[in-house]
Amino acid sequence: MLEVKTLLVPTDFSEFSLHAIPVAWELAREHGAEIVLAHACPYDCDMEVARRKLLEIGRRLAPLPYRTRIAVASPVEFLFDLASSLDRALMVVTTHAWRGTDRQVLGSVTERVITRIPCAILTIKPQRTLVREVEEPHVAFPDLAEVRGPELRQIPKSPDDFFFEKLDRELVAASRAAARKRREARHGRQTHVIELGSVLVPVDFSRRAEEAVVVGVALARHYGARMILLHVLEERSGGRGRPEREARRLKVAKAQLEALRDRLVPVPCECLVDGGPASKVIVEQAERQDVDLVVMGSRGRCTVVGIPLGSTARVVVRRADRPVLILKGPKATELVRGPASS
């Protein structure tokens, strides 16, 4: 069962960073979670202006629960401590910036934040988010005269009939309006929806990869999405081996992947094995399969300054043109609660 209690949204008030707000708003409305708006000020003199801006954003999130956190500190240090103190937290952050003609890279601060913060992180690309606008259907009271015909042989209506039909329409409209206001008071007006049709989970058979599979299964169940497990056969240092050896590697990898699927994935799932550099293959398969989300575990080693991303995850976040959910740190699977504890 997917359970998100807190959505951490760092912002520098730029138009680009604000793209994360609608995604966080919809996730909070859907899961009954609290939004934490965070900003790290470089100077004391900016505190008051930044506080007013955070409150302005917060007022627009009502009636959903939210709180603001602001401090004069470096973004990485501030968000590291904040994320560590939150329960079942998911950080939502936008990524962008282009350098050169064919390589997408993250802004330096954004990359350091994503690299060091020890919680699940959903990276959003402005050109492809998980939020889709919905149209509220307008259901009008039917005109009964349209279905009246000679075969029905109905008695002509009296003035009382027309009076009570009008009264019925007014009462139904009032009841619908009251129900809509109650829903909006609890969850806010639903003008958008999180749409997740497919999830890609790269697997290298490590513990981190299995944690990503568990979270991927919870997402697939919650949103009714199809799931794809991908294993990448990277070339060895000596290059490609003999054809029969490579065929044996492919066969073993497929068997391992299917065994993992049978053990951990109780939902419909497709298994893919491909060869090449891991990050390149993951990005290409995400585009080829047209997935909505990539879920990855990070295998970066702990250091004195935090929990870094592994090199593969870092490159995928940079180059993928769709959202990527990175699971890091000791709380990697805290967003999933089993039946026994739910």
Provide the residue-wise pLDDT of the chain in tens; the chain has 342 residues: 778 899 999 988 888 888 888 889 888 888 889 999 999 888 888 889 989 999 999 888 878 899 999 999 888 888 889 988 988 899 999 886 433 333 344 456 777 777 788 889 999 887 777 776 655 544 444 444 444 444 444 556 677 777 777 877 788 778 777 776 766 665 555 556 788 899 999 999 988 899 899 999 999 998 899 999 999 998 765 555 578 888 898 999 999 999 999 999 999 899 999 999 999 999 999 999 999 999 998 764 433 334 445 678 888 988 898 999 998 866 666 777 664 334
CATH of 196-307, one of 3.40.50.620, 3.50.7.10, 3.90.180.10, 1.20.140.10: 3.40.50.620
Cβ atoms of 228 and 198 within 8 Å: the answer is yes
CATH of domain 1-134+180-194: 3.40.50.620
Q: How far apart are the first and last CA of the chain?
A: 7
Strand order across the beta sheet in which 198-202 lies: 66-72, 34-41, 6-10, 89-94, 120-124, 324-327, 293-297, 198-202, 226-233, 269-275
Task: Indicate the burial class of 209 (C-beta count within 10 angstroms; 0-12, 13-18, 19 or more).
Answer: buried
- Cross-strand pairs, 35: 7, 66
Residue ranges of the chain that CATH labels 3.40.50.620: 1-134+180-194, 196-307
The pTM score is 0.76
DSSP string, 61-92: HTTS-EEEEEEES-HHHHHHHHHHHSSSEEEE
Backbone angles phi, psi at 79, to 5 degrees: -70, -30
Site of tokens 């000791």: 330
